[in-house]
Each structure stands twice: as C-alpha cells, then as structure tokens.
C-alpha cells in the first residue's frame, strides 16, 4: 500500500457513481420519499462529506449504498449505484445478486456506525467480531484471523491489542469501542468506507482522535471515505468535497473551500451562520443565528423548493411552484436554488 495524498485528483473514473437514487418508505400515512433523485460521485481516495440535519436523507443514502434497506413492506429503492470493483468491473449495487452484494459488503465497501455502544454485539468478544468478517470472506482459520485482528486493533490505536481481543464491548470506553468498530470495518481492506456520524456519540476530545485516526488510515490505504455528519466543524476538518442535503435532495455540492468561502444556497449559508465562532465572543451581544422553523414533515413536503418556508430569500410564485434543478455555478460547484444568482450577488433578502 503506497501512501496517497488525502486530497484526491479530480480526474480518473469515479469509484462510485450514484445516479437518481430514490428511496421510498411505505408508512401508515402512505409513501414517504426519504431520498429523492440523489446523484453524486465518489472519487478514488477522496473524502466526501454528506451534510444535513436529521431527516435530510443522508443516513438513508448510506444504507442504500450498502443495500441495507429492507425492500419488503412496500419500501422502494430506485436509481442506480455503480461501483467500480477491484476486478475492474463496474456493477450496479442495486441490481447485483444477494451473493455478490454480500461479497462487496465488508470487502470493498464497509461502514462505521454512529453508536459504538450499540453497534457491537454485547455477547461476542472484540476479537471475534473483528475476525468474523475475515474468516467469512477470506476463508482463513479463526486463529489466523484473530492474529490479524490483533494487528488491526493495533492499527486503530487500541493499546494492548493482544489482551483487548478477549474483551467484551462493555469493557471498553466509548472511544475505544469506536476504534474497534473501525477495525471491524477495515478488516477486509475496503476501497470505500462509509462513516455515518462516527464521532457524534463521543466526547469532543475523543472526536478529534477518531477523525485523525480516519485521516491517517486513509493516507495509509488510499481508500475513499463518505463521511456523514451534521457537524460543519468536522466537515472543514476532513472533507475534500461536500454534499449538502435537505429534505431528501442534494441542495449544494462543492469543494470544501468554495463551500465554506462562498456558499450559494441559503440553507448552506444558514448552516454556516449557525456554527458558533470564537470571534463572535468579541461582539457585545451578538447572538448565534439559527435557521427559523423546522425540517419539513416528509409526509407533507412544501411545494417547490422544500426550503422555501424557512428561507429569507423566498419569492412567492418563484420558489413555491417548481423544484429548482441542481445548476452548476461553476464546474466544481452546483446549487439547487432558483435565486442563487441574486444570493451570490448579495442582493438583500
């Protein structure tokens, strides 16, 4: 494994191409579109951040990539998710057989979940849980897999790994458990790691350690990371590119520098303004801005732009009639807003 720069190059075919992904859940009140026509690429070696509030569809998107959404009970997953496999073939993850998706899970795409407390099985040892995937996918002996588990725990910075493989999850702290979770995900050396809010449940100091760990592992292995978070501080720290999601749609897509420097979608601007900053302390009575209102009820989506009821730039009969398309503002920056030119030009709300 040769070290690769964290920042990916824009050229080369993408590792993952998500096109028009739509996920509908059937609830008691009818169909609910949790994800609505989402398209994006993940390039080799890059970190793509998926940002949005709870209910924006970011976690559902990640579960759809893993094909972990139950399709029974009237749930529907549409569109395509094309993965370039190690073999060089490109396959649609939504169309491959159960056996093939199982082979891809863990070995080519792996996932780290939000809750390290509940995401590890309480009755199996850490070592068994790390080794399990290795035994299953590579058909090696349990002993050899456990030896690899020790190396993996060492890799993710767990001290005394030889002893820790015999521990149960409850014997580890939250941060250590998340490290173990990462070791589980890395066990079969995936090309793509999906990290669904991996630091949200952790203390702030531990959060920074986990982020550093993930970045270090990415430099060593060259894997791509899809990083799902609602924390813009984390985004600035780790991401190369950012997708902002709102109510099941991508509303802005840009490199991390242009997005933070020149956000075009009023929602993104609101998110950035609602992050507390140190320099605000100097101001006498400056209050932290919040976006007014709430995320729309998925069963009763507003017509037109889903953000219009909360938007300062709202124009009747423009914003509440048709859903605006995702327009390129420049080649590496797209925005879904009917008034993005006015917003960009600083026309007051």
Binding site for another protein (CB under 8 A): 66, 68, 101-107, 110-111, 113, 115, 118-124, 132-133, 136-137, 168, 170, 181, 184-185, 187-188
Distances (CA, A) of 259 to 274, 321, 344: 15, 27, 12
Q: How far is the CB of 187 from another protein (least distance, A)?
A: 8
Pairing of strands 241-246, 47-51: parallel
Nearer to another protein, 163 or 277 (CB): 163
Q: How far is the CB of 216 from another protein (least distance, A)?
A: 22
Q: How far is the CB of 133 from another protein (least distance, A)?
A: 4
CB atoms within 10 A of CB 304: 19
Nearer to another protein, 7 or 141 (CB): 141
Q: How far is the CB of 43 from another protein (least distance, A)?
A: 22
Report how far residue 127's alpha carbon sits from residue 349's, in angstroms, rounded to the nearest whole number.
Answer: 57
Q: How far is the CB of 44 from another protein (least distance, A)?
A: 21
Return phi, psi of residue 329, to 5°.
-85, -35
Query: Could you tell me the two tokens for 208?
Result: 């920074």
Distances (CA, A) of 25 to 60, 96, 305: 10, 21, 21
Report how far residue 48's alpha carbon sits from residue 256's, in angstroms, rounded to the nearest whole number.
Answer: 9
Nearer to another protein, 123 or 278 (CB): 123
Nearer to another protein, 136 or 260 (CB): 136
Nearer to another protein, 110 or 337 (CB): 110
Q: Report angle CA 197, 202, 205 to the nearest 5 degrees.
A: 115
């Amino acid at each position: 494994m040769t070290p690769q720069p964290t920042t990916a190059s824009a050229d080369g075919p993408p590792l993952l191409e998500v096109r028009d992904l739509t996920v509908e859940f059937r609830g008691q009140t009818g169909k609910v579109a949790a994800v609505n026509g989402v398209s994006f690429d993940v390039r080799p070696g890059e970190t793509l951040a998926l940002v949005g509030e709870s209910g924006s569809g970011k976690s559902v998107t990640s579960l759809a990539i893993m094909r972990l959404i139950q399709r029974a009970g009237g749930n529907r997953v549409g569109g395509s998710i094309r993965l370039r496999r190690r073999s060089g073939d490109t396959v649609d993850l939504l169309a491959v057989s159960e056996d093939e998706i199982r082979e891809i899970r863990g070995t080519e795409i792996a996932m780290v979940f939000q809750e390290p407390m509940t995401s590890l099985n309480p009755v199996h040892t850490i070592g068994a849980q790390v080794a399990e995937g290795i035994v299953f996918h590579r058909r090696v002996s349990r002993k050899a897999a456990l030896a690899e588990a020790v190396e993996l725990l060492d890799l993710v910075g767990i001290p005394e790994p030889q002893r820790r493989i015999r521990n149960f999850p409850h014997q580890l702290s939250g941060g250590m458990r998340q490290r173990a979770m990462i070791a589980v995900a890395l066990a079969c050396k995936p090309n793509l790691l999906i990290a669904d809010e991996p630091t949200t449940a952790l203390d702030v100091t531990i959060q920074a350690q986990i982020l550093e760990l993930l970045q270090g592992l990415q430099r060593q292995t060259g894997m791509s990371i899809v990083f799902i978070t609602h924390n813009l501080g984390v985004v600035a720290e780790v991401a190369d590119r950012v997708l902002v999601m709102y109510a099941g749609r991508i509303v802005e897509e840009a490199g991390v520098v242009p997005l933070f420097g020149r956000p075009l979608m009023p929602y993104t601007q609101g998110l950035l303004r609602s992050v507390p900053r140190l320099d605000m302390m100097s101001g006498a009575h400056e209050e932290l801005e919040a976006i007014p209102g709430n995320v729309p009820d998925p069963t009763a989506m507003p017509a037109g732009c889903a953000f219009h009821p909360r938007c300062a730039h709202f124009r009747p009969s423009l914003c509440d009639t048709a859903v605006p398309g995702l327009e390129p503002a420049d080649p590496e920056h797209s925005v879904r807003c009917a008034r993005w030119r006015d917003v960009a030009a600083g026309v007051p709300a």
